[in-house]
Amino acid sequence: MRILRRRRFAVLLLAAGALAPATYPALAQTPPRQETSMPSDIDPQSGFRLPLPRREDLDETARQTFDEASKPGANIAGLQGPAGVQLYSPKTTRHLRALNRYLRFEAGISPRIREIAILATAREMDSQFEWVAHEPEALKEGVPQDVIDVIKHRKSTAGLDPTDALVIELGRQLWRDHKVSAETFAKLKQTFGPNKLVDLVLLMGNYAGTAAMLTAVDMQLHKGKQPLLPIPCLSLGADEKLVGRHRLLAQRRHGRRKLRPGDACTRQQE
């Protein structure tokens, strides 16, 4: 009797083993589920954590900003961007827009240097929205792709045009090191003169402030836009590690949450 039971059990095991290979391929062919929704606190119309103010609720100055930002091609991002957030501070809107316009177009900073300065700031602030808006602008203004890649991937500036390299180094020292060396400052003053140097720093500070605002409201990329900037995170496999100093930054900025769609990571294979 015991022998019969053992034989039956062995037959069942063999049958299960025969069936198992047939089930695994079916599971392997099932595509992974991908979440496509925005974070729950994001307003679907504005693309950030606050609803877009209604035009009729704004004062005259803010209405002008609303109307200008609503025109196609009036600015890079339209109302789903800094202009939409700034509507919540109507008294500052006119001044902020005038300052930005002066620093970008009237301060005598060349378009190429302007975009390098903006990208250097966006990179060190990890501002995905600013980067996605300004990488195409930089290419349009003649910034070479290899210069963009040096900023994007925090590579050495050796071999770059000296002025390009100097502006990139300024961004890194301002926003990463929080200290500009005497040598760097002397080179900047010699290259730009004291007046244009101050305007250059003001331009970078303007975009750093915008990056902070966009971070606070968790501004989402426009529909159809893909992230272009590698940003550190902690959703790593056992065979991956964060590059250098980004581990601490990732802990501070992202905690240990899983990635959302649109997030990007700076990773390095072990």
Range with lowest mean pLDDT among 60-74, 168-182, 242-256: 242-256
Do 96 and 158 lie in one domain? The reply is: no
Query: Is 2's pLDDT higher than 80?
Result: no
- Assess if residue 63 is contained within a domain: yes
pLDDT at 8 exceeding the cut of 60: no
How far is 65 from 217, CA to CA, in rounded Å?
19
Boundary residue ending a domain (91, 106, 121) = 106
Asked if 255 and 211 sit in the same domain, the reply is no
**pLDDT band, residue 61 (cuts 50/70/90):** confident
Total domains, the chain? 3
pLDDT of residue 38: 83
Query: Could you tell me the two tokens for 27?
Result: 């599971």
Question: Can you list the alpha helix ranges (DSSP code H) found in the chain?
Answer: 2-28, 60-70, 82-86, 90-101, 111-124, 128-140, 145-152, 162-172, 182-216, 246-254
Q: Which CATH number belongs to the domain containing residue 165 in this structure?
A: 1.20.1290.10
212 shares a domain with 113: yes
In this structure, the answer to whether residues 207 and 114 fall within a common structural domain is yes
Average pLDDT over residues 214-231: 95
Q: What is the token pair recorded at 196?
A: 């244009």
Question: Are 217 and 260 part of one and the same domain?
Answer: no
Residue 11 belongs to a domain: no
Please provide the distance, in angstroms rounded to a whole number, between the alpha carbons at the two ends of the chain. Answer: 57
Of 35-44, 115-124, 151-160, 218-227, the poorest mean pLDDT is in 35-44
d(CA 235, CA 256): 7
Higher-scoring residue by pLDDT: 94, 28:
94
Whether 156 is in a domain gets the answer: yes
3-state secondary structure of 17: helix
205 and 137 housed in the same domain: yes
User: How far apart are alpha carbons 116 and 120 in whole angstroms?
Assistant: 6
The contacts of residue 62 (CB under 8 Å, 6+ apart) are 53, 87, 90, 93
Same structural domain, 190 and 167: yes
Are residues 86 and 158 both part of a single domain? no
Q: Within 10 A of 219 (CB to CB), how many other CB atoms are there?
A: 26
Radius of gyration of the chain (CA): 26
Phi/psi region, residue 262 (left: phi>0; alpha: psi -120 to 50; beta: rest), is left
Gap between the Cα atoms of 126 and 218, Å rounded: 12
Asked whether residue 128 falls in the same domain as residue 171, the answer is yes
Q: Domain for residue 17, yes or no?
A: no
| pLDDT at 227 exceeding the cut of 50 | yes
Query: Same domain for 213 and 113?
Result: yes
Q: In this structure, is residue 145 part of a structural domain? A: yes
Looking at the structure, do residues 90 and 122 belong to the same domain, yes or no? no
- Chain CA centroid to CA 37, Å: 18
pLDDT value for 251: 46
Q: Residue 248: is its pLDDT beyond 60? A: no
Whether the predicted pLDDT of 262 surpasses 50: no
User: In terms of residue numbers, what domain contains 191?
Assistant: 109-226
Percent of the chain with pLDDT over 70: 71
Higher pLDDT, 245 or 121: 121
44 three-class SS:
coil
* DSSP label of 56: G
Q: Tell me the pLDDT of the chain averaged across its residues.
A: 80
List the single range of 24-28, 198-202, 207-211 with lowest mean pLDDT. Answer: 24-28
In a domain, 12, yes or no: no
Is 191 contained in some domain? yes
**If pLDDT is split at 50, 70 and 90, which confidence band does 233 have?**
low
Q: How distant, in Å, are the alpha carbons of 4, 13, 16, 18, 19 from that of 10?
A: 10, 5, 10, 12, 14
| pLDDT number for residue 73 | 66
Q: Would you say residue 4 lies in a domain? A: no
User: Does the predicted model carry a pTM greater than 0.85?
Assistant: no
21-55 CB burial, b ≥16 within 10 A, e <16: eeeeeeeeeeeeeeeeebeeebbeebbbeeebbee
Longest dimension (CA), the chain: 100
* SS3 assignment, position 269: strand
Query: Quick check: 229 pLDDT over 80?
Result: yes
Query: Do 98 and 122 have their domain in common?
Result: no
Single residue among 66, 84, 106 that ends a domain in this structure: 106
In the three-class reduction of DSSP (H, G, I as helix; E, B as strand; rest coil), residue 52 is classed as coil
